[in-house]
Structure 1
Amino acid sequence: MSFRVVIPARYASTRLPGKPLQSLAGRPLLQHVYDCACAAGADEVLIATDDERVAEACAGFGAENVMTSAAHRSGSERLAEVVQLRGWAEDEVVVNLQGDEPLTPPAAIRQVAEDLIRFPEASVSTLCAPIHSAALLNDPHTVKVVRDAAGYALYFSRAPIPWERDVLGAEEREAPIGWRHIGLYSYRVGYLRRYVELSPCELEDVEKLEQLRVLWHGARIHVAEAIEVPGHGIDTPEDLALVEALLAQREAR
């Protein structure tokens, strides 16, 4: 199987300035993410940034860096520029791995690429994990997905979907009561080029979920259950401390 991984890495971050270069267990956060991608068996792993400080750090730990525009509004747009600069073929598969996810299992990265190859009708592939608690289902920071019988996405929302009308008040159940979306994507290169030219849609603006643009314009997203669920991502100093502690526990085993 052939696939590539691109890691968009933007230096600016409101809640955690200089996030990609923050020290995590003695190494830059971005290096941990890069190591996860390399362990997935990709043909090529690239870091896409618009900041020379990130580029310099990449050189320090041996990663290949691609300089991209500072005007991009999303990781997908940055990814599309890399695709264009590299001239990759339309049918190639590229995984978008966020630069603040140092606990992403290599198996999940490989899975999302394999899944897109297995489902030729899909333009995009992503992952999900079961939700067992009402608190998580109702959390607007947790994106939920509903799939059809073949595993294709019907809708993504911050709201609790599906809403089980006849079951009220259950705090936790053994069977899944919903599915949490995991923000790891693979694209067919040809579709990614078209995607960034599509106009945003009303649902995307309302939910603040970029993937709804794909469904709105008629393409299909396949959503497989993750064989290994990624760990905690990093958005804040508190997240950084938490992941540092988790890595220390892992090393101590």
Structure 2
Amino acid sequence: MKFLGIIPARYASSRFPGKPLIDIEGKTMIQRVYEQVKKSTKLNEVVVATDDQRIAQTVLSFGGKVVMTAEHHQSGTDRCAEVITNIEGYDVAINIQGDEPFIDPAQIDLLANCFEDTTTQIATLVKEITAEEELFNVNIPKVVRNSKGEAIYFSRQTIPFLRGVEKDQWLQKQKFYKHIGIYAYQVDTLKALTQLPISMLEEAEALEQLRWLENGYAIQTAITTHETVAVDTKEDLTKILRLFFNK
């Protein structure tokens, strides 16, 4: 089975414009992401998917591979789908966030391992929640899994709800999982997903993976113990510098 790693990257971020090109101790963020992803033992190829020439030229300057995509894409999933329509020969596409400069390559390998079961259509990662501030944070999507490790539902609310249990006791009574936003898809499945209309549940929660569940696709999950650190704001960049460079 051949795996293609795709890093969607766009310049026009509403919260942090130009963030793929910000400098992190001498390297742009997109270069740090690319170099981390290349350490995966499962990927046969890695490309950056972008609609911006500044990002494309930066990737080429450090020896990376880039695929130009359309400007109109609303999500990384759509951008990845365009890439795999133009690059043939791969069985699975892995959509890797372009704003995690220190992503653990083992997480990519863990996700790829889900496809040892040839019936897997889509796979993603989850991590056990251990702190109340995460458990009740509506900006952190939660996921409930079935006995086969497949996602049953994703929500910004805390799920499952523990009836008759005080909230400060929930973590002692039940395992809760948060969603880690990295996806892998069988290429034919990825092409089909982008043809689906926005669903009721997706619109309600603003989580695109609910569209897939609502249309009958199975999402296999794997549990990671590694914490991801994304750069969504300038404050996040400060945190990254403190965590990894003692700045």
**Same fold per TM (> 0.5)?**
yes
Letter in 2 for 1:247: F
In structure 2, the residue matched to 1:56 is: 57
Instruction: Give the alignment of 1:197-212 within 5 angstroms.
Output: 197-212=195-210
Name the CA distance, whole Å, in 2 between partners of 1:137 and 1:230. 15
Instruction: Give the alignment of 1:42-81 within 5 angstroms.
Output: 42-81=43-82
Name the CA distance, whole Å, in 2 between partners of 1:18 and 1:61. 18
Letter in 1 for 2:66: N
Letter in 2 for 1:141: N
In structure 1, the residue matched to 2:144 is: 146
Please say if residues 142 and 178 of structure 2, whose CA atoms lie closer than 8 Å, have aligned partners that are also in contact: yes
Name the CA distance, whole Å, in 2 between partners of 1:65 and 1:110. 22
Letter in 2 for 1:237: K
Aligned pair count reads 246
After superposition, give the CA deviation of every residue in 1:11-41 in whole Å (9 maximum; x if it has no partner): 1111111010011111100111101110012
Deviates more, 1:177-186 or 1:146-155: 177-186
Shift of the 27–171 alpha-carbon distance from structure 1 to 2, 3 Å rule, reads farther
Letter in 2 for 1:113: A
In structure 2, the residue matched to 1:20 is: 20
Name the CA distance, whole Å, in 2 between partners of 1:133 and 1:175. 13
Please say if residues 132 and 175 of structure 1, whose CA atoms lie closer than 8 Å, have aligned partners that are also in contact: no
In structure 1, the residue matched to 2:155 is: 157
- Structure 2 unaligned regions, length at least 5: none
Letter in 1 for 2:213: L
| Secondary structure of 1:170's aligned partner | helix
Name the CA distance, whole Å, in 2 between partners of 1:122 and 1:214. 13
Q: Among 226, 231, 235, which residue is 2:228 paired with?
A: 231
After superposition, give the CA deviation of every residue in 1:63-112 in whole Å (9 maximum; x if it has no partner): 000000001111000000000011245xx011100100112100001111
Letter in 2 for 1:84: T
In structure 1, the residue matched to 2:39 is: 39
In structure 2, the residue matched to 1:132 is: 130
Name the CA distance, whole Å, in 2 between partners of 1:9 and 1:133. 31
Deviates more, 1:137-146 or 1:1-10: 1-10
In structure 1, the residue matched to 2:3 is: 3
Please say if residues 144 and 161 of structure 1, whose CA atoms lie closer than 8 Å, have aligned partners that are also in contact: yes
TM-score calculated relative to the size of structure 1:
0.93
Shift of the 174–248 alpha-carbon distance from structure 1 to 2, 3 Å rule, reads farther
The two structures, once aligned, show a CA RMSD in angstroms of: 1.6
TM-aligned CA deviation for residue 135 of structure 1? 2.5
Q: Among 213, 216, 225, which residue is 2:214 paired with?
A: 216
Structure 1 segments of 4 or more deviating over 6 A?
Answer: none
**Identity %, equivalent residues:** 38
Please say if residues 50 and 67 of structure 1, whose CA atoms lie closer than 8 Å, have aligned partners that are also in contact: yes
Please say if residues 2 and 89 of structure 2, whose CA atoms lie closer than 8 Å, have aligned partners that are also in contact: no
In structure 2, the residue matched to 1:87 is: 88
TM-aligned CA deviation for residue 174 of structure 1? 5.5
Name the CA distance, whole Å, in 1 between partners of 2:76 and 2:135. 26
- Structure 1 unaligned regions, length at least 5: none
Shift of the 106–162 alpha-carbon distance from structure 1 to 2, 3 Å rule, reads same
